Amino acid sequence: MKYLDLVELVTEKEEYAKQGVHKGMFGAIMSEEKIGDKWQVIFSEFYTGKDIADLLVREDDLIVHDFVPSEKYPPKN
């Protein structure tokens, strides 16, 4: 993983949920390097870009994508 990679959260954890971040959400790596075993990731609302949370996420809880797969797009409200 590296700075600005598009990542998906693949694990539901209370520590992330408390910040409004849940399994299946996408974010961007915002740190140049890992901090311990975690990356700083910013998660934003899908269609608005409004920030939801900026938090440290375990590397094992993330997967990197080149783009958001069309089947992962949330429905528009």
Residues 12-60 pLDDT 10s:
999 999 999 999 999 999 999 999 999 999 999 988 889 999 999 999 9
Whole-number pLDDT of residue 44 = 94
Position 64 confidence tier, pLDDT thresholds 50, 70, 90: very high
Whole-number pLDDT of residue 76 = 80
Task: Say how far apart CA 33 and CA 74 lie, in whole Å.
Answer: 30
Using CB atoms within 10 A of its CB, is residue 46 exposed (0-12), middle (13-18) or buried (19+)? Answer: middle
